[in-house]
Amino acid sequence: MLSVFDFDGTLTCHDSFVPFLRFAFGHRQFNRRILGLALPSLRFLVRRVDRDQLKAQLISTFLTGVEAAWLQQRAEAFCQQAWNRLMRPAGLQAVAQELRSGALVTLCSASPALVLQPFATRLGISLIGTELEVVDGILSGRITGNNCRCQNKVLRLESVYGPLNQYRLRAWGDTRGDRELLAAAQDAHWRHFHPSWRRGQRAR
C-alpha cells in the first residue's frame, strides 16, 4: 500500500508557502517584495503566464541569494508556530491511520521540499516536493527539475517508488494539480477533509 497526501489545502486549511514567506521575511520586507509581483499576478489572472511561471517568479523574487540553512531554520520555526492553526485535524488523523495500517506514506506537494520538511518530519512520513536549486549553500532562486504538480507528481512518485501499478495506491488531493495523481489511484479522495459544500467545486 502506498498512501500519498497533497499538502496545501488537503492537509492544511489553506496555502502555506506565501504565509511562510511572510513569516520568514517579516511583514515589511514581504510587502515590499510582493509588490514586485503585482504585474506578473495580473498577467496570470488574464492567462498571459501560467501557474508554474508565476511560481518561478515568486521563488526568484524571495529566495535568490538566501542561505539554505537560514531557510531551513525559518521553516522549522514556522512549522512550530503555525501547526495548530494550519493543519486539518481530520487530515492528521488520516495520516496516523495510514501509518498504523503499515502503508508507505508520503507527502507529494508543489511547495518547496525545504519548507515542508519540518512538517513531514513531525508527521513521521516521507516527502516529495518541488526542489530548490542550492549552489554552495545558497539558493539560486530557481527550481531543480519541474514544479511538482499535475503529471509531475506521478513522475516524481515513480522516480522514488517505481511503477505505481505495483502498489495499491491511495491518494488525497484538492486542486487541478492533483488530478493526475488521483487518476492513478485505486482509492482517490477529493477534498476529503473539506466541508461537504466544498467537495463538489471544480478543480482549479
Query: Percent of the chain beyond pLDDT 70?
Result: 96
| Of the options 3.40.50.720, 3.40.50.1000, 1.25.40.10, 1.10.630.10, the CATH number for the domain spanning 2-198 | 3.40.50.1000
Residue spans of the domains in the chain: they are 2-198
Q: In what order do the strands lie in the sheet with 169-173?
A: 138-144, 126-135, 104-112, 2-5, 169-173, 187-190
* Residues making up the chain, counted from first to last: 204
Helix (H) or strand (E) holding 169: strand 169-173
Q: For position 198, what pLDDT does the model report?
A: 60
Q: What is the pLDDT of residues 19-58, one digit of tens each?
A: 999 999 999 999 999 998 887 788 877 777 788 898 999 9
| Whole-prediction pTM | 0.91
SS3 state of residue 146: coil
Q: Give Cα separations from 50 to 44, 130, 134 (angstroms).
A: 6, 17, 24
Could you give the CA distance from residue 11 to residue 188 in angstroms, rounded to a whole number? 15
Q: What is the pLDDT of residues 142-162, one digit of tens each?
A: 999 999 999 999 999 999 999
